[in-house]
Amino acid sequence: MTHKGRIISAVALTALGLGLTACNDGEDSSAAQESPSASAPASSDPTTSESPSADPSDDAPAPAGGDVAAPGTELKIGDRAILPFKYGTEKKGTVAVTVTAIEKGAEADMAAFGAKAKGMTPYYIRMKVENVGGTDLAYSSLRLRGKLEGGAPTGVILIGDLPGKCDNESAPREFTTKGASYETCSLSATKTDPIAAASFEEGDAYSDSPVIWTS
């Protein structure tokens, strides 16, 4: 099911039920430019409401089917990376992520985010997520971030999706056994150079040295 979210910024507006804000994409303020972000209304469905972020855990179950990707690992689109995963305070395990595409959208796709999204080009990071450890990860959610060529941040953080174009799906109820999988999409956007990579940077081990997929 689709997990609704928001795009973050320092100034809150509303347009078509979405709010915009500006942020530094988690980078040092001296290096990252101020950028827009937006938010979607929270859902009353507990399985689609905003949820805690996912972070790798030191005590996650041992992986099966390969070694965990080390921080800083560089991959190509289509490659599979096994990653430690934690969601909220109780769900933890090991997943495999395969980035299947980074697709460029049209500026018009961002119209729902209002005037602050003018000049933004969206990119759709499509991926397959597999349950490798066999633990209960039902209804968890995983996101990747877009990066410019060379690994620079986009300057824009989007927490949300564009229905019908890039739907951020939560794991299904059955995502509790080894081999279970689902497909999802992470929305990213830029006002400058094209997005050329996707990164996994959740948790202390990967925040400064993410796993990167490039074309």
95/21 Cα distance (integer angstroms): 32
Cα separation, 36 vs 57, in Å, equals: 31
User: Does residue 1 register a pLDDT over 80?
Assistant: no
pLDDT of residue 28: 39
- Average of per-residue pLDDT across 191-212: 93
What's the pLDDT at 185? 95
What single-letter DSSP state applies at residue 108? Answer: G
Sequence-ordered strand ranges (E) for the chain: 19-23, 35-39, 74-76, 80-87, 91-104, 121-131, 145-148, 181-190, 195-200, 211-214
- Mean pLDDT score, 188-208: 93
In the chain, the percentage of residues whose pLDDT exceeds 70 is: 69
User: pLDDT grade, residue 61 (50/70/90)?
Assistant: very low
pLDDT the model gives residue 66 = 63
Across 60-88, average pLDDT:
84
pLDDT digits (tens, 9 = 90+) for 183-194: 999 999 999 899
User: Tell me: the pLDDT tens digits for 98-134?
Assistant: 999 999 999 999 988 888 888 999 999 999 999 999 9
Structure tokens belonging to residue 37: 């972000």
**How many other CB atoms sit within 10 Å of the CB of residue 65?**
13
State residue 215's pLDDT score: 85
